[in-house]
Structure formats: C-alpha cells, structure tokens
Amino acid sequence: MREWEKYIRKVEPYVPGEQPQAEKVIKLNTNENPYPPAPGVEKLLHEMDADVFRKYPDPACGCLVKALADRYGVSEKEVFTGVGSDDVLATAFLTFFNSGKPLLFPDVSYSFYKVWAGLFGIPYETQVLDEEFRIRPEDYKKENGGIIFPNPNAPTGLFLELNAVEDIVSANQDSVVIVDEAYIDFGGKSALSLTKKYDNLLVVQTFSKSRSMAGMRIGFAIGDQKLIQAMNNVKYSYNSYTMNTPSLLLGTEALKDEAYFQTAVSKIMETREWSKECFRKLGFTFPDSMANFLFVSHPACPAETLFEALKERHIYVRYFREERLADHLRVTVGTRKEMEELFRFLEIYLKENGYQN
C-alpha cells in the first residue's frame, strides 16, 4: 500500500437507486414523479438565454428563498435552500450534530443518515421501529445530540401524526430535531406550523418528488432564523455557489402554479389508493402509505425473486437487501397506466409460478 493510500478517508457510500438508460422501462424505483413539472417551467426553460450561465448564480438564492417564504408564510430569514434536500440535510448534519452525543434516528429510515454520520464522524444510535414499522416517540426521550426522521417515513410510507412529532420536538428542546418531509405533500400534515413554536425544529422538504424536479436538484429547510443563519455560515465556509442559475429560476417558476401542483399530487394519491386495492387483491401486505410509494410484501413469493422477474420485464422497483427490509419491495406510484401494466404482469407471474391460485 502506498503511504498516501493510508490517509484516504474511509467512507461507506450511499447506493442510489438505478437510473436505467434504456428508453422503454417502467421506472418505479426512485420515487420520482411520473408527471412533468408545471407548464410554466417548460416555457421558461425554452425562453432561457444562455447568457445567464456566464455569471455566477446568486449565492443567497434570493428569488427562490423569497418564493418559498411567501408560499409557506415564513420570513426569508427562516428559509435555507440547497442542491436537493440531500445537500440541505448534509449541511444540517455538519452544522448541528457536534455535541459528541449520539444522533437518534429509526432503524428503518432513509439510509443516507448513516452515511452522513459516518462521513462527518457523528455518533448515532438507531431506534427500533415497532412490529408494524411505527416510530415510538418514547424512544426519542433519552440523552442525544440530535434527532432526525422522515415523515412520512421511508421506505415504509407511514405518517407519524403531528401531535407525536410535537411530543418528540418538545421533549428535546436542547437538541436540534430535523423532520425530513420529502413526501409530506402526498397527504400528510407538515410540521412547518410547529417551527413558530419550537426554535429547535428544522423541517426539510424537496422539489424532487411532489414537484417533479428531481433532475434540477432543489431542496429547502425552514426553521428558526438562528438555525438558518448557522447553516448559511457552514454553507459559505464550504461552497457559496451551491444552486445553479437554471435551478433557481425554474424552481421559483414552479412555485407559481399551485393549481397544477395540487392536481398532480392528487392524481398520484388517487392512483396510490387504487394500487393499494390491487396489491391487496393479489395477497400483498403493506403499511398504509401516505407517500408516493408502497412498501409491499407477498406471503409466498420472495421479494428478491419478484424484483428480478420485474426487472426482466423492464419494470424497475427498489429492493433493499438489509435485514428488516429484505421481504419487501418499494414500489413508486407511477401513472395509472404504468400501474395497470405492473398489476397485469404480477397477476400472471404469481399464478404461473404457483405463488397464487
């Protein structure tokens, strides 16, 4: 081994879902939105002058911060933006979790939390979800250096009621509590209102799922201005020009069309409820998701076998090999047509292979 090789930072990276490059796949593996972004976004994209690339972007992300502040009824000083919520979350980890005490998060949740904790040397303790994959607020009432959980949780889709979220936040006023609301627009109730009451609460959301803009990389956080100021200080100590100009402009534009957003989100919720029925009829079980995906398990057919069979048919879903998840597949809610194709395949496959009479 060469001397310098010894000093390479040892990390265990996050493994993102596959992005197949083939054209004709049904892509239900990374929780993207099956509908295009708001029409105004497309229009602005075509009108955009390449001269905007010549200059650095606004490091304060002013237009987007203002649009978000208006949309969510907070002041601009209470909004932080970043390159997807992954960037926002990484910045928050770096900013807030420096006490040396363990960060708490559920054993089944977004697998990136462990990765950032590893990268930044933050000790952590996972809290075991109950038999039905529910978060137990009492598990978060012990000494800690911070708390983070997704709500709805991923990959279960389960939503934790707001009074339980408040219970956790109010019991931990000496720590920063982050609620990762990547999927909140699909029927859950946001903890945003609680940020007025608790200065230790940071709510993080993204344009990647409900706003159909995963490829633009736009995420944001809302919380007390002391939290936001601290995150900005870290950001400006690392990379001041995080968001590129097109993302800033197109993200701002997306926020103008509330009606389109609501329609797209309700279509997905409708398809989700219909898909629950179809999965049920085929014998699958699943937690009652409030997100744009379902975490399904079949009593007879092993998840990995089904994952491979689906992939062969160019239907991509997500399979996690980890212990508590290995019996499940996470299936993104696509368009009604995509889901119909999925269920047509499943019905035949389960019958032909003796998993179903």
Ligand X SMILES: *Cc1c(COP(=O)(O)O)cnc(C)c1O
Minimum distance from CB of 300 to ligand X (Å)?
29
- Taking the least distance from each CB to ligand X, the nearer of 33 and 282 is 33
Alpha-carbon span 65 to 62, nearest angstrom: 5
185 binds ligand X (CB under 6 A): no
- Taking the least distance from each CB to ligand X, the nearer of 85 and 95 is 85
12-51: contacts with ligand X (CB under 6 A): 31
Question: Own/partner pairs for 164-171, CB < 8 Å, 24+ apart?
Answer: 164/135, 164/137, 165/191, 165/194, 166/191, 166/194, 166/198, 167/137, 168/137, 168/140, 168/141, 169/194, 169/198, 169/200, 169/201, 170/198, 171/137, 171/140, 171/141
- Taking the least distance from each CB to ligand X, the nearer of 154 and 176 is 154
Minimum distance from CB of 98 to ligand X (Å)?
22
Judged by CB under 6 A, how many residues of this single chain contact ligand X? 13
Question: Which residue of this chain has its Cβ atom nearest to ligand X in the complex?
Answer: 84
Minimum distance from CB of 256 to ligand X (Å)?
20
Q: Which of 57, 145, 150, 251 binds ligand X (CB under 6 A)?
A: 150
Stretch of 79-87, 165-173, 274-282, 347-355 contacting ligand X, by CB under 6 A: 79-87
Structural tokens at position 35: 């509908």
Q: Which of 206, 210, 271, 332 binds ligand X (CB under 6 A)?
A: 206
106 binds ligand X (CB under 6 A): no
Q: Which of 84, 106, 146, 287 binds ligand X (CB under 6 A)?
A: 84
Alpha-carbon span 317 to 332, nearest angstrom: 7
332 binds ligand X (CB under 6 A): no
- Taking the least distance from each CB to ligand X, the nearer of 36 and 302 is 36
Minimum distance from CB of 5 to ligand X (Å)?
31
108-147: contacts with ligand X (CB under 6 A): 110
180 binds ligand X (CB under 6 A): yes
Write the Ramachandran bin of 157: left for phi over 0, alpha for psi from -120 to 50, otherwise beta. left
Minimum distance from CB of 333 to ligand X (Å)?
14
Q: Which of 164, 214, 234, 278 binds ligand X (CB under 6 A)?
A: 214
Stretch of 50-58, 80-88, 90-98, 341-349 contacting ligand X, by CB under 6 A: 80-88
Mark 82-98 as b/e (b = at least 16 C-beta within 10 Å).
bbbbbbbbbbbbbbbbe
Query: What is the sign, positive or negative, of the torsion defined by CA atoms of 46, 51, 56, 60?
Result: negative
Q: Which of 85, 210, 275, 297 binds ligand X (CB under 6 A)?
A: 85
Stretch of 61-69, 83-91, 330-338, 342-350 contacting ligand X, by CB under 6 A: 83-91
158 binds ligand X (CB under 6 A): no
Can you give the binding site for ligand X, defined by CB under 6 A? 31, 84-86, 110, 150, 154, 180, 182, 206, 208, 214, 219
